[in-house]
Structure 1
Amino acid sequence: MSSASTGPRSQGWLWTLVVAGFFSQTALNLVRPVTTYKLIDLGADATAVGLVTAAYAILPVVSAMWLGRLTDRIPGLRVMVGIGALVLAAGAAALALAGTIVWVAAASAVLGMGHLIFTIAGQSAIARFSPNDQLDRGFGWFTAAYAGGQIAGPLVAGLLLGDGAGIGPGTRAEGTTFSMWLGAALALTVLPVLLPGIIASRGGTRGRGTAPGERRRRAVLSAPAPQDDGGPGRPTMGAILNRPGVRSNMLASLALLAMLDILTAFLPLVGEAHGVSPAWIGMLLAARGAGTIISRGFLPYLSRRIARRILLMGSLYGAGICLAVPALVIDTPWATLVLLFAGGIFLGLGQPLTMSLISESVPHSWRGSALAVRLMGNRLGQVVMPLAAGLIAAPLGPAGAIWFGCAVLVGSGVQKSLGPAR
């Protein structure tokens, strides 16, 4: 389907993705902070938390490129989005049933796979159907939905686990189990969001009484990928990575996303060590998500006035500086809240910018594969960085894990500043 049919009057497919993204991310961000509390109940230390956090990204590391090529070939993406939601729900249910640290790690790997399938399908739909001048808008709204889930999920988790902090292993088991089941149910709500469009694309588009614009709107997520005339060849990983700017933007994306994982996994540990309740930790993580959703709402305006590279560097430096301080002042929750909100603003700018920059760096027919390579790099970072953070946390405490993530952000900003202007 040509980009002409994806203008402002036919953006129903994008809003379907946005709603589905919100529900899936609410589920994910309810489950992931609670996973740390479940590990505490099982007697895990900071190193074990790092290992389980890394396990979340193990399956995506080996499957991201294959899934990206699949999105470039398959005729429709809506069903793939639904499959991602189902796998996400299965991971949350497995976490609810988990009784050992090893089982928690395995369930986290399933959860990460579901998130990967959902994200690759959604991002590929935007890259496929949005014209270049609308990429920031499409990715911005999609990731804003993710940020909305990053607000709602931790708030719900905090409410469910309550005000108790430092109360010892095993005492929150009922609350953590219920939270996991609720996360599975929220992931499944994606399916009724998608179902009307699946029915419409298979049958409704043949109805004579349906307006052409409405038929296009309903069928976009089931349309075949556009083909470039005289295409540039097979989008191998090496060919994608050799495109100018791709590796630099992948490093930035990796650092930004891994920082989210480190915050989600280790801020509850910092709070537990300082007697900060799960309810407050949920509010702090939600404040980070609120900053992110605000910045993504303003991203289309900013990207029309400031070069994407400059915005990305500001995102890396700003997030690295703002997020280094909260662990030092967590005994003053309101100061921590403000700092995490500011850090969320900077973090929120970076991810959609890297999607747009990488999408524009490759031929149109490579975009699904290029975004999959980006996601594979993200997941590799989500394996390596939490492992390193867990090892650093052993001698320095859980705050050291967060400072490590901030150092990587600033280092990526330095690399971006010194590299080519792409």
Structure 2
Amino acid sequence: MRPGGNRGWLLRLVIAFSFTQGAVSMARPAVSYRALALGADERAVGVIAGVYALLPLFAAVPLGRRTDHGRCAPLLPFGVVLIAGGCALSGVAGSLWAMALWSGVMGLGHLCFVIGSQSLVARQSAPHEQDRNFGHFTIGAALGQLIGPIAAGALIGGADMAGTSALALLAAGATAAVSFTSLWRIEHRRTASASRAHKGDRVPVRGILRTRGVPAGIFISLAVLSATDILTAYLPVVGEHRGIAPSVVGLLLSLRAAATIACRLVLTPLLRLLGRTLLLTLTCLLAALLCAGIALPVPVWALGLLLVLLGFCLGVGQPLSMTTVVQASPEDARSTALALRLTGNRLGQVAAPASAGLIAGVAGVAAPFVMLGVLLLVSAGVALRSRGSGPPEPGPEAAAPGGEAAMPGRDVPKPGGEGAKPGRRRVSLRRKSDI
């Protein structure tokens, strides 16, 4: 089956990702509340949030190497098992050390699922479909981020914070397990066979990182995910200090996720209007200003407005950084390049919460958001400097038939839904890998 020929697999992948991301988004604030109930301070919350990314930091590249020359689908159920187990065991843990351990297991499971699913999207999408398909794929993450915090806020509260947060973690484990129902026959047979047959020499990691466009995509992704992660982990702490109820905090986090979904639904026309570089630069710059605004003692309604605008801006970075990394990297090392991007993400998830915890302990709980503003400001500069160094950008002149944005220099599908000849597509991909 040719890439992009049947998108039923993409719908099932989005559904599965919604449940797994919903479980993680429910568990992350629940872990923070349970840690606070067990006596943790702001620094300890930052350390526990950082451990979530510590194990994945060392596992990403080996998993990417394996996926480059093997199947993607087996990583998905394995990741679900680790997520469900990490959530449930965090709920019954009686110490901060145990919570940190199971938080790391949860993070490893999330990494497995994301590497497998992102590689699947890259492998089963035609080049001109990647912006759109990665945008649709990340809608699953945004849906989970919308529902998870609301569910956590509904379950957590009252005098027994330790008990209700434990209940939320157990519910998160059950939610993750539901995603098993959407993982059947999600990888095309011909795609899997071709990946096993295509075993060339491994592209060195240093060579991938030196490819133009890859470092910029990794850094922008790191900055955007760090912002999302610290918002999830530290907004409950801000709420505790400002007297905002957990249910309201969950609603605020869900408003941000809803705005991210809205952004990704209109991503294709935004790309046609502005192009990838300008869109990334503007949204990172606006997100930097909005993060700094969260540090101000604003009323709840104003905080909600800031989070809606921030969610829209942050919705751009992840799918476009995926496309940037995939199209800039060599064809036979795309899963490894995506794994390196995820390694950068996890490095940010280790360093950013730990740094945020130290800053919060010294300068107050709002200070980490100022740190995020600076990080996003730097990422806006990186996006601007990357102009011309990555893959060609979709623009008004690159609209494919049927309203889809095609990449300049790529094969545009012929009327009637037939793609370009396989030989031409391979030549185009190889030419791109030499950039």
TM-score (norm 1): 0.88
Out of 234, 238, 252, the residue aligned to residue 206 of structure 2 is 238
Q: Distance in 2 between matches of 1:318 and 1:242?
A: 29
Distance 1:54 1:151, change over 3 A: same
Residues 285-300 of structure 1: pairs in structure 2 closer than 5 A: 285-300=253-268
- Alignment check: 8 A CA contact 2:69 2:196 kept: no
- Alignment check: 8 A CA contact 1:77 1:221 kept: no
Structure 1 equivalent of residue 144 of structure 2: 149
Q: Distance in 2 between matches of 1:14 and 1:410?
A: 33
Q: CA deviation at 1:421?
A: 3.1
Q: CA deviation at 1:116?
A: 0.2
Structure 2 equivalent of residue 38 of structure 1: 34
State whether structure 2 residue 375 is matched by structure 1 residue 379.
no
Out of 176, 185, 192, the residue aligned to residue 187 of structure 1 is 176
Q: CA deviation at 1:284?
A: 0.7
State whether structure 2 residue 256 is matched by structure 1 residue 267.
no
Residues 318-329 of structure 1: pairs in structure 2 closer than 5 A: 318-329=286-297
Structure 2 equivalent of residue 212 of structure 1: none
Which residue identity is paired with 1:412? S
Structure 2 equivalent of residue 333 of structure 1: 300
State whether structure 2 residue 64 is matched by structure 1 residue 64.
no
Out of 9, 12, 15, the residue aligned to residue 13 of structure 1 is 9
Q: Distance in 1 between matches of 2:193 and 2:264?
A: 27
Q: Distance in 1 between matches of 2:12 and 2:332?
A: 23
State whether structure 2 residue 356 is matched by structure 1 residue 389.
yes
Q: Which has the higher contact order (CA 8 A, sep 6+)?
A: 1
Which residue identity is paired with 1:244? R
Q: CA deviation at 1:79?
A: 2.4
TM-score (norm 2): 0.86
Residues 378-417 of structure 1: pairs in structure 2 closer than 5 A: 378-417=345-384
Q: CA deviation at 1:138?
A: 1.1
- Alignment check: 8 A CA contact 1:257 1:378 kept: yes
Residues 208-357 of structure 1: pairs in structure 2 closer than 5 A: 219=189, 222-225=192-195, 233-330=201-298, 332-357=299-324
Distance 1:125 1:223, change over 3 A: farther
Q: CA deviation at 1:226?
A: 7.9
Which residue identity is paired with 2:349? Q
Give aligned-pair identity as a percent: 38
Q: CA deviation at 1:119?
A: 0.3
User: Can you list the C-alpha shifts for 1:327-354, whole angstroms capped at 9, x where unaligned?
Assistant: 3245x11111111010000000111000
User: Can you list the C-alpha shifts for 1:62-83, whole angstroms capped at 9, x where unaligned?
Assistant: 0100011111121x32222111
- Alignment check: 8 A CA contact 1:155 1:282 kept: yes
Q: Distance in 1 between matches of 2:161 and 2:194?
A: 48
Q: Distance in 2 between matches of 1:285 and 1:160?
A: 15
User: Can you list the C-alpha shifts for 1:193-239, whole angstroms capped at 9, x where unaligned?
Assistant: 224x27xx8xxxxxxxxxxxxxx6xx47755428779x6x4222101
Out of 114, 121, 128, the residue aligned to residue 123 of structure 2 is 128
Structure 2 equivalent of residue 213 of structure 1: none
Q: Distance in 1 between matches of 2:207 and 2:259?
A: 36
Q: CA deviation at 1:300?
A: 1.9
State whether structure 2 residue 51 is matched by structure 1 residue 51.
no
Residues 363-374 of structure 1: pairs in structure 2 closer than 5 A: 363-374=330-341
Structure 2 equivalent of residue 105 of structure 1: 100
Q: Distance in 2 between matches of 1:77 and 1:279?
A: 38
User: Can you list the C-alpha shifts for 1:373-392, whole angstroms capped at 9, x where unaligned?
Assistant: 10011111111111111111
Aligned length in residues: 389
- Alignment check: 8 A CA contact 1:245 1:358 kept: yes
Q: Distance in 2 between matches of 1:261 and 1:222?
A: 33
Residue 225 of structure 1 aligns to a residue whose secondary structure is helix
Q: Distance in 1 between matches of 2:61 and 2:277?
A: 25
Which residue identity is paired with 2:121? I
Which residue identity is paired with 1:40? L
User: Can you list the C-alpha shifts for 1:111-165, whole angstroms capped at 9, x where unaligned?
Assistant: 1000000000000001111111100111101111100000000000111114x5x
Q: Distance in 1 between matches of 2:182 and 2:383?
A: 39
- Alignment check: 8 A CA contact 2:56 2:111 kept: yes
- Alignment check: 8 A CA contact 1:56 1:111 kept: yes
Residue 398 of structure 1 aligns to a residue whose secondary structure is coil
Q: Distance in 2 between matches of 1:387 and 1:277?
A: 25
Residues 189-208 of structure 1: pairs in structure 2 closer than 5 A: 189-195=178-184, 197=185
Unpaired segments ≥5 residues, structure 1: 202-215
Distance 1:414 1:377, change over 3 A: same
Q: Distance in 2 between matches of 1:128 and 1:222?
A: 9
Q: CA deviation at 1:326?
A: 2.4
- Alignment check: 8 A CA contact 2:42 2:361 kept: yes
Structure 2 equivalent of residue 77 of structure 1: 72
- Alignment check: 8 A CA contact 2:87 2:170 kept: yes
State whether structure 2 residue 126 is matched by structure 1 residue 158.
no
Distance 1:307 1:420, change over 3 A: closer
Q: Distance in 2 between matches of 1:411 and 1:77?
A: 34
Over aligned residue pairs, what C-alpha RMSD do you find?
1.8
Which residue identity is paired with 1:276? I
Q: Distance in 1 between matches of 2:148 and 2:362?
A: 31
Q: Distance in 1 between matches of 2:62 and 2:302?
A: 44
Q: Distance in 2 between matches of 1:115 and 1:138?
A: 20
